[in-house]
Amino acid sequence: MKAITHVVIIGFGSITQGLLPLLSKHYSRVKITIFEKSISKSLSDIATEFSADLKEETITSKNFKHILSPHLNKNTFLVNLAISISSLELIILAKKYGSLYLDTCIEPWNYKSEDNQTLTSNYELREAIKKHKQKINDPTAIVAHGANPGFISILLKKALIEMAATNNIKADPSTQIEWAALAKELEIQVIQISEHDSQISASTRAPLDFISTWSTDGLITELLQPAELGWGTHEIEMPSGARKNGHAIEMLEQGREVRVKSWSPNYLEFSAYLLTHNEALSISEYLTLGDAENPIYRPTVYYAYEPCDQTLDSIQLLDRSTEAKIAKKIILKDEIISGTDELGVFLISKKFNSFWLGSTLSIGKTRKLAKHNSATSLQVVSSIISGMKWAEHFPEAGIVESENLDWRYIYDIAANYWEPIVNKQTDWKPSDTDNRLLFKNFLA
């Protein structure tokens, strides 16, 4: 087990603010250094509250080595919680000094694609990480491990086992092939990462403000990126204009333009945005059986997100390729007066009742557990802590995704902050007239 004496964090947005109370509990004697491009008094106050060393620096592709290298060594954990700071470059730098690494999303330096017309897809970003050459015993670098992507892949494995038990199927999978075989035996054709955020603010949204409960910049990027999803073997027709990318497809439309039907235990049926997310790609690949190009089984996997009402209003400010209409970006936290963030994995089967497993965390319980958090951010930061703890125990695992972690170990740490975690069976289907679980039937 590696002894961590220094945690270096890039970015001081809502996720880092929410992470600090958990770091103070789980890493109470560890030095914390945070790099942020612009420091306000409120940020300075939070850093002081948790004895963190806050440094005002804009990290770029030209200066990141110079700024970060003096802080990195074998007892350092580098955590990237900023957008447009290259994950791959940071992993390479951390490896040079023997430091551990974690991020919640695979980031580039710039999301603009080569044609400068669209934003880089998550498929491209993930493939670049996968192609990076590794050596035996490279320092552990956990990529894309927040709530989702991240802990949702842990819940996936728990849900598969619980769904199997519910249907009298004996299952104790451990390898990738065994997990995929179990999903096939359960005849799961669609997996939704289903999220419905009902948190309500006491403040009124100004007409040109963009509001979010986790990250305005992160959400805007996802809304403007192409909609992506893992593509199942049961599908018979791709959406018009979509492009096949191995086990996934990239739609012609942006995430803000695609609405799908989903379901959750409290809200029941709802419509949601289909946003590109790493877990849709990693889960669909992980649950593939057979040859990657001509598989015998793979589910369709995607993220269905319905944000809070003020965020829904904010999204109308976006047009095809710009956020120019936005006057101010606001993260809801202290202003929230009620509501929950329902976030779970929804396994939709051709043969059995479908199975939803996830969190129905309220803002009231969130505030009892950790300061400076919304329900949304607490789900993210608790997963970060669990990933960091795993990396300490397995410090030479190289680059790993959430599907490759010990799901029981991760669950036992993060679940304390996600509860209540509920499971629910349902006979819900997206169409009353067509029982087939084809993607076109989920479009809202």
CATH number of the domain to which 106 belongs = 3.40.50.720
Residue 119, SS3 per DSSP: strand
Examine the domain organization and report whether 313 and 350 are in the same domain: yes
**Residue that is last in its domain, among 91, 113, 142:** 142
Structure tokens belonging to residue 210? 């963009």
Separation of alpha carbons 173 and 281, rounded Å: 21
Separation of alpha carbons 270 and 19, rounded Å: 30
Which H helix or E strand runs over 80?
Answer: strand 76-80
Sign of CA dihedral 314, 320, 326, 331: positive
Examine the domain organization and report whether 251 and 132 are in the same domain: no
Q: For the chain, how many structural domains are there in total? A: 2
Examine the domain organization and report whether 432 and 330 are in the same domain: yes
pLDDT of residue 1: 84
pLDDT of residue 119: 85
What pTM, to 2 d.p., does this model score? 0.97
* CATH code for position 364: 3.30.360.30
Which phi and psi angles does 9 have, rounded to 5°?
-115, 135
* Domain-located, residue 401: no
Examine the domain organization and report whether 306 and 195 are in the same domain: yes
* Domain-located, residue 396: no
Residue labelled with tokens 């949204």 = 205
pLDDT of residue 115: 62
* Domain-located, residue 400: no
**Contact indicator for 259, 443 with CB cutoff of 8 Å:** yes
Examine the domain organization and report whether 226 and 335 are in the same domain: yes
Q: Is 59 exposed, middle or buried (0-12, 13-18, 19+ CB in 10 A)?
A: buried
Examine the domain organization and report whether 253 and 115 are in the same domain: no
* Domain-located, residue 397: no
Range of the domain at 44: 6-142
Separation of alpha carbons 137 and 140, rounded Å: 8
Neighbours of 291 (CB within 10 A): 8
Examine the domain organization and report whether 129 and 27 are in the same domain: yes
pLDDT of residue 112: 82
pLDDT of residue 116: 56
Residue 426's alpha-carbon distances to 356, 423, 433, in angstroms, are 8, 10, 17
Examine the domain organization and report whether 184 and 254 are in the same domain: yes
Per-residue pLDDT of the chain (444 residues; tens, 9 = 90+): 889 999 999 999 999 999 999 999 999 999 999 999 999 999 999 999 999 999 999 999 999 999 999 999 999 999 999 999 999 999 999 999 999 999 999 999 999 876 656 788 999 999 999 999 999 999 999 999 999 999 999 999 999 999 999 999 999 999 999 999 999 999 999 999 999 999 999 999 999 999 999 999 999 999 999 999 999 999 999 999 999 999 999 999 999 999 999 999 999 999 999 999 999 999 999 999 999 889 999 999 999 999 999 999 999 999 766 788 999 999 999 999 999 999 999 999 999 999 999 999 999 999 999 999 999 999 999 999 999 999 999 999 999 999 999 999 999 999 999 999 999 999 999 999 999 999 999 999
Q: What is the largest CA-CA distance in the chain?
A: 63
* Domain-located, residue 385: no
Neighbours of 183 (CB within 10 A): 27
Examine the domain organization and report whether 274 and 364 are in the same domain: yes
Residue labelled with tokens 């451990």 = 174
Examine the domain organization and report whether 181 and 247 are in the same domain: yes
Examine the domain organization and report whether 29 and 94 are in the same domain: yes
**Residue that is last in its domain, among 85, 107, 142:** 142
**Residue that is last in its domain, among 116, 142, 168:** 142
**Contact indicator for 298, 165 with CB cutoff of 8 Å:** no
Structure tokens belonging to residue 262? 């989903």
* Domain-located, residue 226: yes
Separation of alpha carbons 325 and 307, rounded Å: 20
* Domain-located, residue 394: no
Examine the domain organization and report whether 196 and 245 are in the same domain: yes
**Contact indicator for 24, 47 with CB cutoff of 8 Å:** no
* Alpha helix stretches (DSSP H) within 108-175: 122-131, 151-166
* Domain-located, residue 412: no
